[in-house]
Amino acid sequence: MELIFELSKSGRRGFIPPRADVKNYELDLKYVRKTPLNLPEVTEGDVVRHYTNLSRLNYAVDIGFYPLGSCTMKYNPKLNERVASLPGFTDIHPYQDLSTIQGALELMFNLGESLKKISGMDAITLQPAAGAHGEYTGIAIIRQYHRDRKDFERDEIIIPDSAHGTNPASSAMNGFKVVEIKSDDRGMVNVDELKKAVSSHTAGMMLTNPNTLGIFEENVLEISKIVHDAGGLMYYDGANLNAIMGQIRPGDLGFDIVHFNLHKTFSTPHGMGGPGSGPIAVKDYLADFLPIPTISKKGEEYTFDFSHKKSIGRVRSFYGNFSVVVKAYAYILIMGEEGIKKASEMAVLNANYLRAKISKILKVPYNNTCMHEFVATTLPLEEKGIKALDFVKRMLDYGIHPPTVYFPMIVHEDIMVEPTETESKDTLDHFVDIVEKIVKEAEENPEILKDAPHKTPIRRLDDTRAARNPVLRWKGN
């Protein structure tokens, strides 16, 4: 496809601004451009076709099934977008007088209360802009907590080998050493290894539950106790909250800090770089460390609260990604307690339905009842020269977005499938049919997988070159 700059023809216009009704202002010559600005000259029709065609090159959850494990690519109701774009929300400014934005503050306050209730925590900040940013904030709080107690020896965070890459990154960015714990043969944290790993150096542990294999950590209470007894804190990576919301609460499982990915669990589209939102909630003994300001209610009035004496400071300008917060609140109100509970039930049911069917076609290494996602492997197809990457690229030819591959790293040639609660049995059955078809192709005609995808606008990319030598900017003719 041509770029909009390449479509440009001198003299074409899409928009003519109204004649100015204010006096011309003469700019000081030193501020005046020497060369004209290089803008594309195109008609309104050119622009509409260009961007419509561009959008048709994309795959999206609004086009088809998107079972990207660990990402919760559920359908996000359009009503919530509509609510977030109401002028009362979009036309306000963070520096407005508090008396004029009481509604916005009330909304943020109420969302905080709902998330506290869902997670079983006591205090919250909506500032972090993503899950990884929430992790960074939470680990900074762990660091501050130990410093405040004059416990300067604690320089290690314990992380299971199934963890998301952001966990070690957030710990390292806060100056901690990462201690990795191996999973046991059921895909859970090896408790004996954990016992050996804790010491007076343990600052805390990061855990997602269910973990990235889609397995609930059955020993979570014991794990929390081991870490707490050693003087550490428990951090809950909430990316997988969709599996347990309304059923159990991280706060009751011994976690001290929780992050939420509003863009995964609570109805904000994601996958093209944001905006996201990663609030974190903490137990009361950590509330004073939260970033300032938080939002509080005094009588009938909502205000920004700067009173935290031990705050780690701000982690983002203003108060977080407000439009995402609005969507999350709208979603929670519409779903209600019953709806939220039902959503996690359906997410788990859908995943187990798929796991049971797929395990007859592909190898599923931890093939017990799973939570919201499961991991399969294409390893047995290796003798045909087929990698997991080839397998999932072929799915694109059948109109399905590839699942996550090569994560978690403890299963080789793995594909990680998360169907979410918003998919129907028809869609799941269709997915099973396609997987079956591709396995057959792998056996009979493996070459067709190795060259896949065949039907997409762009074929297989050279990932290494894209990472090492990215061309991100059009430099003009």
Ligand X SMILES: *Cc1c(COP(=O)(O)O)cnc(C)c1O
- Which residues of the shown chain bind ligand X in the complex (CB under 6 A)? 70, 130-132, 164, 166, 208, 212, 237, 239, 261, 276, 278
For tokens 């918003």, what's the residue? 422
Of the pair 126, 381, the CB lying nearest ligand X is at: 126
Q: How far is the CB of 112 from ligand X (least distance, A)?
A: 18
Of the pair 202, 212, the CB lying nearest ligand X is at: 212
Of the pair 261, 294, the CB lying nearest ligand X is at: 261
Question: Which residue blocks in 359-418 are alpha helix, DSSP H?
Answer: 388-397
Dihedral sign from CA coordinates of 95, 98, 103, 104: positive
Q: How far is the CB of 439 from ligand X (least distance, A)?
A: 27
Token pair recorded at residue 22: 């204010």
Of the pair 254, 408, the CB lying nearest ligand X is at: 408
Q: How far is the CB of 225 from ligand X (least distance, A)?
A: 23
Cα 48 off chain centre by: 31
Q: Are strands 156-160 and 177-181 parallel, antiparallel or unpaired?
A: parallel
Cβ atoms of 311 and 293 closer than 8 Å: no
What residue is closest to ligand X based on CB? 131
Q: How far is the CB of 129 from ligand X (least distance, A)?
A: 9
Cα three-residue angle 287-289-295, rounded to 5 degrees = 55
Closest CA to 417 of 427, 405, 429: 405
Q: How far is the CB of 194 from ligand X (least distance, A)?
A: 19
Of the pair 190, 261, the CB lying nearest ligand X is at: 261
Give dist(CA 183, CA 108) in Å, integer: 38
Of the pair 32, 272, the CB lying nearest ligand X is at: 272
Cβ atoms of 134 and 278 closer than 8 Å: yes
Instruction: Indicate the residue type of 196.
Output: K
Q: Which whole-number Å values give the CA distances from 55 to 117, 317, 402, 414, in the listed order?
A: 39, 31, 19, 30
Q: How far is the CB of 376 from ligand X (least distance, A)?
A: 18
Token pair recorded at residue 62: 């609004």
Of the pair 114, 208, the CB lying nearest ligand X is at: 208
Of the pair 268, 442, the CB lying nearest ligand X is at: 268
Q: How far is the CB of 233 from ligand X (least distance, A)?
A: 18
Q: How far is the CB of 135 from ligand X (least distance, A)?
A: 7
Contacts of 342 (CB under 8 A, 6+ apart): 246, 421
| DSSP 8-state code for residue 380 | G
